[in-house]
Amino acid sequence: MDKFVALTASGIAYGAVLAVVALGFLVLYKATGVVNFAHGDLVTLGAYLAVWTTTSLGLPTVPGYLAAIALMGLVGVAIERVAYAPLRSRPPMVVVIATLAAAIVIRGIIAVWQGSEPKTLAGPVGNRVVHIAGAAIAEQRLLITGVAAVAVLALLFVFQRTPYGRQVRALAADPEMARLTGVRTRLVAMGAFALSAMLAALAGILIAPLGAVDLNFGFGLMVTAFAAAVLGGFGSLGGVVLGALVIGLIQQLFGGYVLPDYAATFPAIVLFLVIAVRPEGLLNLTRSRL
């Protein structure tokens, strides 16, 4: 029983981080049509910025985190201006390749700025644990789940209840038409890049205290989150959150009980199966896009 509880708790925490990464990915895709392969490196950059604000600038943990997230919003806008705006009218494939280039540039900048040695990010709760049904669960994991849940709800609110969300939903449904009805595409794109980068930073900051930050930190997370997004139908926010939780739980439970050596490959296998068998996503229950 305690084993099941422990594995479930870690699966949910991992899924929660995946959900934040996947939503950042999706927000940008919905608003601009860009599949941003630099998203993983934005996760890395966010974590490094948090290391920088809390160690070099000496800010306390939580204000340091918030400063890093705010900075990442500016980074998002800068990327929109420098890398996306000039390519706006180019075919999507060109833009996707540009995002790969952006990923390499971001990684190179981090390497020059912070060096190649892994860094550690202090968590607000340290190494404390709570015991639930006999299982020891790190408080950081509970924190991750809580913060991610708040972030997801806030995002749902922004999309369902604000004029910004209304415009993103219109752009996602029909970009050409949106332009004719006066949706401010440039403003929406800038906002989406900022929001996406901030979500990337949040995910990086949540998970970094569990391990360490190095140059490849965010990339693997992005690939797994991509699998979660595809599983969720690459459409509805709710579907993507469910997809992320399913991937997190499969990886931990299947990895804990059945085939431990192959746990790391499950997301890729799921991705492959979903694309091959049900490209519209397993969990695309509603037609609602956002």
What residue ranges bind other proteins (CB under 8 A)?
3, 6-7, 10, 13-14, 107-108, 111-112, 115-120, 127, 129, 136, 138, 141, 158, 162-167, 169-170, 173-174, 176-185, 187-188, 190-191, 194-195, 207, 210-212, 214-217, 220-221, 252, 255-256, 260-261, 263-264, 287-289
Neighbours of 212 (CB within 10 A): 14
d(CA 160, CA 95): 28
- Nearer to other proteins by Cβ, of 62 and 268: the residue is 268
Burial 8-22, CB ≥16 within 10 A → b, else e = bbbbbbbbbbbbbbb
- Nearer to other proteins by Cβ, of 98 and 138: the residue is 138
CA neighbours closer than 13 Å in the CB half-sphere of residue 148: 29
CB of 159 to other proteins, least distance (A): 9
- Nearer to other proteins by Cβ, of 1 and 93: the residue is 1
What are the residues whose beta carbons fall under 8 Å from the beta carbon of 216, sequence distance 6 or more? 44
CB of 82 to other proteins, least distance (A): 19
CB of 26 to other proteins, least distance (A): 16
Query: What number of H helices and E strands is found in the chain?
Result: 12, 2
CB of 178 to other proteins, least distance (A): 7
- Nearer to other proteins by Cβ, of 97 and 174: the residue is 174
Residue with structure tokens 């569990």?
Answer: 210
286's torsion region: left (phi>0), alpha (psi -120 to 50) or beta?
Answer: beta
CB of 177 to other proteins, least distance (A): 5
